[in-house]
Amino acid sequence: MTARRAAWLAVALCACQGATGTIDIDLVAAPGVDPLAGVDRVRLTLTDPVTVVESARGPDGGFALSLEVDARGQAARVAFEGLDAAGDVVVWGQTPVLPMSAIDARVTVYVAPPHGWSEAPVALAPARTDIGAAALPFGALWAGGRDADGAPVDSLAIYNAYFHDLQVGDPLPEPRAAIAAAAGLRQFVYLFGGEGPDGEPTATFWRFATDVPPAGRYVELDSDPALARTGDRIALAGSETFLVAGVPPVLLDGGRGRATAVDGAPPLDGVPALLAVSDAGDAEVLVVGAGVGTAGAAVLSGGAFRDLPDAPEGLRRTGHAVVALPNGDALVVGGRGPDGAPVAALARYRRGDRAFDAVAGALATPRADAAVARAGGLVVVAGGTDGAGGVLGDAEVVDADTLEPLASVPLVVPRTGATAVALGNDQVVVAGGVGADGRPVEVVELYTPPVP
């Protein structure tokens, strides 16, 4: 059971011409955990304008906090901190960005100890792996997957970071495992390929509208059976345009509603990551992997693909991740080398020079098939498989600016092949994957970063 504790928390919004509004804030924690256990004092912080209020526990054992804000239509976050008798923060959490205008609304903040993993207030049912995951402005979407019997499923659900609940969407038009999923710049999520119920790769191209009540709507777009694939990665490559890696690489054009093979590109059987989008809408996408180019890396820039023949040999990996860094560079994380063994090495791609640097720091444990995401100033590398084939039960955290290793933090459940999505409140949600028993994992968990 998930505990929701009603400390009275509210942001009072006062706009010009006398209009007012209130944002009520609920607290939620891991199942069976009291969000305010061990808390003697609470603090509420608004980021714009910076406003801080505190309250001690009242005679009735509860807390009451209210912020009054000049609502100018600005966007801001609200952070909650629970402090113990010594003044140390024992739990905290924050909202994603909220509009500060004269509206009435209610949101939920998930609170947990800083710099650690806790079970989310929802679970995946049925438990599944090989999930297609997409980051949304308001949370994470999970599409399809493979159940405990190995069969593709048709489930689609959204983890909403404003309410920390699971919103169940209409089932996929057909079961899929290892489907490629990515969100556009609007309300659409694009779903391509994946393994069908007959065990064969598919080339179906679906657009899912997240804003159509009551549970979304699918539209099938044009594709070619020759583009069938499963398990290939996807990245945004412009306004409603996406690159799906693999053989051959595929360009998904959401605006025109069609999927086409990419002609004239170097081999792109690897992992793509969007690094930047120009004011004109041109994207820069880095692709890294054993089947990419002549040396393991290529880039899409200015509408053209370019091989990077001088890339270091260590980029020929599988089971790795590529994440964009805050300055527009990229970090290549983990995976398996040419000999099939997991690697610990990290590599930084310098976008301005189109060159790679080895990173002095490395993962403490070589790992492949980890769930990797960058949230704010941290890169989180969760679980994976080690050199002995064991399923790892920790997550390594790396500073996204200096690339220095910061800590290794235990997961709630060991897992490999999971998905990680950075949420708008700087938490990371991890779902799916296979546990140490070889079965799909039902538990969803959240990484809560240190207090800024």
Q: Matching CATH topology for 2-114 and 117-448?
A: no
The secondary structure element, H or E, covering residue 309 is none
Query: DSSP string spanning 281-298?
Result: S-EEEEEEEEEETTTSEE
| 176 in Cβ contact with 143 (< 8 Å) | yes
| 92 in Cβ contact with 448 (< 8 Å) | yes
Q: Is the dihedral of CA 448, 428, 48, 7 positive or negative?
A: negative
Check pLDDT > 80 for residue 241: yes
Q: Which residues contact 381 (CB under 8 A, 6 or more apart)?
A: 321, 333, 334, 363, 367, 370, 371, 372, 395, 396, 397, 398
Assign 3 a pLDDT band (cuts: 50, 70, 90). Answer: very low
Encode pLDDT of 358-386 as tens digits. Answer: 887 789 999 999 999 999 999 999 999 99
Question: Domain boundaries in the chain?
Answer: 2-114, 117-448
Q: Residue 181: how many CB atoms within 10 A of its CB?
A: 25
The pLDDT assigned to 392 comes to: 99
Encode pLDDT of 258-294 as tens digits. Answer: 999 999 899 999 999 999 877 767 789 999 999 999 9
DSSP assigned state of 256: T
**What gap in Å lies between CA 143 and CA 130, rounded to an integer?**
9
Q: How far is CA 46 from CA 82, 84, 96, 449, in A?
A: 15, 21, 12, 18
Encode pLDDT of 75-108 as tens digits. Answer: 889 999 999 999 999 999 999 998 877 667 789 9
The pLDDT assigned to 358 comes to: 87
For the chain, give the mean pLDDT.
92
Q: CATH for 117-448, among 3.30.465.10, 3.40.630.30, 2.120.10.80, 3.90.1150.10?
A: 2.120.10.80
**What gap in Å lies between CA 79 and CA 46, rounded to an integer?**
7
Encode pLDDT of 407-427 as tens digits. Answer: 999 999 999 999 999 999 999
> Minimal CA–CA distance to 323: which of 285, 283, 355, 268?
285
CATH class of 2-114: mainly beta
| 384 in Cβ contact with 392 (< 8 Å) | yes
